[in-house]
């Protein structure tokens, strides 16, 4: 876990990224002005409830847009250049998977059922890097070792593998080109606890051994605490707090973060864990002021205005309580 802020420029700098969907009931603002920075070899966890826009954030970064996009804007500086102006073909050929890869949610169906595993994992190497078959397969075998898969899995078809094995295959697939950034969308939510722990261990080991940054999107506070260097908490399409992991887990700033951490049961705590009353607002009909105001116990008059992101020491918080001149 890196503690000190990076001296070098960040690997990924996202400014005001927005992604809105067009649905029959209106425009859903899934990602609404998200900004954060990610250093090399840093693991950032994006926490949030279902429907807060976390998965859309992953899609927005990799530009995996569905057919019904209403709005897509912002600046994504990756390795020194802004990716947004890149054409689709450029993005596909230079960024996707070579520099940025993704492990999708529910890897059950993420593998082509009629192609052997080794072909699928070797694919990015052969297509993007034009590697020969032998060279690619050697690298695949290497990556398999990295994620803890036996080499005989190479010849199998996806339907012959268990859920945990498939997840590892997908992880291997994401690592095979050794990209500097891997985005993982709920990598463990569909697995049993033991496999979850194993996968997290794999991720930790990889992060130690290779110079890779992770963005780990999850709703599971407990497992994320094991690997996170930074935590970004999303609510209703926005990042409400982004802090170093230790600060977030022990002294969260944003009221939502506080309530969240209070609701996570500790192993030895006498009192019952707290709950957060109410439900998040629909992404179709967002309130005009602070989006958490309805459920916030620390709400005050200023919260009728949408709060900007305030920068504190090493953290960012989107809450009027932390406005420089503001006071309750």
Partner 1 sequence: MKNTSRPISKATAIRQNLSRFIPFALLRLLGLFITVVIGVYLTILIANMGGKVDELRLLQIRTTVGEQVRADPAFFDMPVAERDDIIESRVTLEVKRRRLDQPFVARSIDYLLAAVRLDLGRSEEMHSDSGAREVSAIILERLPATLLLFGTANLAVFFSAVFFALRLSRRYGSWMDRAVIALAPTSAAPAWFFGIFLILVFAFLTPVLPAGGMVHVPPPEGRLAWGLSVAQHMVLPLAAMFFSSIFISIYSWRTFFLIHSSEDYVEMARAKGLPGRLIEKRYVLRPALSPIITSFALMLIGLWSGAIILEQVFNWPGLGSLIFRAIGHRDTPMIIGSVVIFAYLLAITVFLLDILYAILDPRVRIQGGRS
Q: Which residues bind partner 1 (CB under 8 A)?
A: 62, 64, 67, 92-93, 95-98, 101-102, 104, 106, 108-115, 123-124, 127-128, 137, 145, 148-152, 154-155, 157, 159-160, 170, 173
Q: Is 220 helix (H, G, I), strand (E, B) or coil?
A: coil
Closest approach, Cβ 178 to partner 1, in A, equals: 14
Shortest distance (Å) from residue 214 CB to partner 1 = 16
Cα distances from 196 to residues 138, 200, 222, in angstroms, run: 27, 6, 11
- Taking the complex as a whole, the smallest distance from the CB of residue 118 to partner 1 amounts, in Å, to 9
Q: What does the block give as tokens for 4?
A: 């000190």
By C-beta, is 151 or 278 nearer to partner 1?
151
CB of 136 to partner 1, least distance (A): 12
How do 12-23 and 100-103 pair as beta strands? unpaired
Cα separation of 264 and 266, whole Å? 6
| Between 170 and 240, CB nearer to partner 1 | 170
Two tokens at 156?
Answer: 């199998």
Query: How far apart, in whole angstroms, are the C-alpha atoms of residue 265 and residue 68?
Result: 39
Q: Between 104 and 242, name the residue whose CB sits nearer to partner 1.
A: 104
Residue 120 or 213 having the CB closest to partner 1: 120
Q: How many C-beta neighbours within 10 Å does residue 226 have?
A: 15
Q: How far apart are CA 191 and CA 199, in angstroms?
A: 10
Least Å distance between CB 140 and partner 1? 11
Nearer to partner 1, 96 or 207 (CB): 96
> Are 58 and 19 spatial neighbours (Cβ–Cβ below 8 Å)?
no
Residue number, 148 or 287, with CB nearest to partner 1 = 148
Residue environment code for 6-43, b if the CB has 16+ CB neighbours within 10 A, otherwise e: eeeebbbbbeebbbbbeeeeeebbbbbbbbbbbbbbbb
- Closest approach, Cβ 185 to partner 1, in A, equals 10
Instruction: Compute the least distance from the CB of residue 141 to partner 1, in Å.
Output: 8
Cα–Cα distance measured from residue 95 to residue 179, given in angstroms and rounded to the nearest whole number: 9
Q: How many Cβ atoms are within 10 Å of 267's Cβ, its own excluded?
A: 4
CB nearer to partner 1: pick between 116 and 246: 116
């Amino acid at each position: 876990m890196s503690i000190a802020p990076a001296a070098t420029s960040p690997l990924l700098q996202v400014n005001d990224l927005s992604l809105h969907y067009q649905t029959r009931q209106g425009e859903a603002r899934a990602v609404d002005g998200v900004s954060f920075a990610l250093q090399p070899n840093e693991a950032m966890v994006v926490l949030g409830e279902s429907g807060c826009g976390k998965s859309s954030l992953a899609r927005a970064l990799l530009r995996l847009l569905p057919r019904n996009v209403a709005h897509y804007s912002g600046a994504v500086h990756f390795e020194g250049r802004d990716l947004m102006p890149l054409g689709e073909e450029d993005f596909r050929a230079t960024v996707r998977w070579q520099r940025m890869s993704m492990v999708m949610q529910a890897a059950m169906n993420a593998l082509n059922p009629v192609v052997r595993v080794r072909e699928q994992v070797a694919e990015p190497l052969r297509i993007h890097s034009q590697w020969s078959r032998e060279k690619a397969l050697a690298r695949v075998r290497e990556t398999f070792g990295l994620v803890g898969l036996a080499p005989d899995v190479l010849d199998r078809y996806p339907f012959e593998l268990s859920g945990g094995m498939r997840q590892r295959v997908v992880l291997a697939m994401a690592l095979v080109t050794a990209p500097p950034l891997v985005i993982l969308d709920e990598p463990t939510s569909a697995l049993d606890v033991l496999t979850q722990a194993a996968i997290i261990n794999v991720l930790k080991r990889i992060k130690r051994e290779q110079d890779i940054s992770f963005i780990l999107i999850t709703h599971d506070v407990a497992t994320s605490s094991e690997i996170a260097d930074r935590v970004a908490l999303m609510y209703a399409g926005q990042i409400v707090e982004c802090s170093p992991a230790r600060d977030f887990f022990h002294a969260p700033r944003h009221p939502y973060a506080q309530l969240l951490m209070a609701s996570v049961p500790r192993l030895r705590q006498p009192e019952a864990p707290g709950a957060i009353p109410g439900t998040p607002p629909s992404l179709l009909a967002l309130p005009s002021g602070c989006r958490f105001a309805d459920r916030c116990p620390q709400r005050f008059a200023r919260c009728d205005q949408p709060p900007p992101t305030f920068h504190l020491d090493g953290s960012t918080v989107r809450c009027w309580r932390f406005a420089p001149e503001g006071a309750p």
